[in-house]
Amino acid sequence: MEHLLELKGVTKRYGDTLALKGVSLSIDKGECIALIGPNGAGKTTLLRVIAGLEQASSGEVLYRGVKAKPSLLRRVATMVFQKPEVFNATVYKNVAYGLKVRGYSKAETDRRVKEALSMVKMEGYEDKQAKKLSGGQQQRLALARALALDVELLLLDEPLSNLDSESSTTIGKLLNWISKERRLTMVVAMHDAVEAMALTDKVALLMGGELISVGHTYTVLKQLQAPLKAFTRLENVFIGEATPNEDGSTSIRLSERLTIEAVGKRTGRVTVFIRPEDVMVSKRPVELSARNAFKGRVLEISDLNGAVRLKVDTGKALFTVQITKKSLIELGINVGSEVFLAFKASSVYFL
């Protein structure tokens, strides 16, 4: 079977630093692969080599079975960076830039810009100034700019990093749609194993520039659960005894005083986790559809540039919560504040 793209023993050096060590990886047309690994693992370097932005020091990159020079890779692939650069111009001009460089007509440029903005749910933004958009909107703009080029391979470097919960959810759904409905071939570098599981069935684990494992997302994460915890955002990881309920849910007893509810039927000892973005926080108890609700006290607050992380002790378990800075200020939350946490049964994932 001919692969769309294939890396054979790719090594990349920066002086005395070995960023990639003999990486071999195949990518099929329409496939979505998540690159996961700690900071410095080589994820971004690998994306840049695939995108033709870096020349491999040794090894080969094949496109449709033929050795590809960086100039060819730049034509068939485009990369969306972790912190997208937007021009000091309108949204329309930002999306149209690459099309004009490639010589598209005004009519075709207009059509592609309109279609791309529609895909990322930014219709009507054409005349807005790109620099004034929120972080999540700028990320969607960067995606629109890439989609407008209609390349074969879309490369994304930490597309959900440092976004607030709403923006992260929106872009996550958009990437799922691009992968499943458009069948666009994608390679996505991610720091969050949960996000990888939600996006794709295939992951490639990089450690120290080496490709450690490639395979089904669940299998790779389950096999490497312990080391993954060291660099993924699996803070809310709990082990307990699962008992299935008649309504199709499962009650998971984590301790004598703590039981959480999850969707799906499981029995026996299980490991579960809850994304920090999926935990709602308030200063008062609220009536919600969420089946898991606890009272706790804030132990720690950390700034993530675009968001804020809270460590909350419920007296039964320590939870990590991610909210926007705006929410933190509006709620008047400080270290020591009493808060109420809630999350849905559908937000509980089984490892």
**Cβ neighbours for 125, distance < 8 A, ≥ 6 positions apart:** 91, 117, 133, 137, 141
Fold of the 236-350 domain: OB fold (Dihydrolipoamide Acetyltransferase, E2P) (2.40.50)
CA distance 126 to 8: 42
Taking only the tens place, the pLDDT of each residue in 255-313 is: 888 899 999 899 998 878 888 888 999 998 877 677 899 999 999 998 866 688 899 99
**Cβ neighbours for 251, distance < 8 A, ≥ 6 positions apart:** 242, 243, 245, 259, 260, 261
Domain range summary for the chain, segments of one domain joined by +:
5-226, 236-350
Longest CA–CA span in the chain (Å) reads: 68
5-226 shares its CATH topology with 236-350: no
Task: Confirm if 33 and 42 have CB atoms less than 8 A apart.
Answer: no
Does the pTM surpass 0.85? The reply is no
Identify the residue with better confidence: 181 or 140.
Answer: 140
pLDDT of residue 227: 47
Q: What CATH code would you report for 5-226?
A: 3.40.50.300
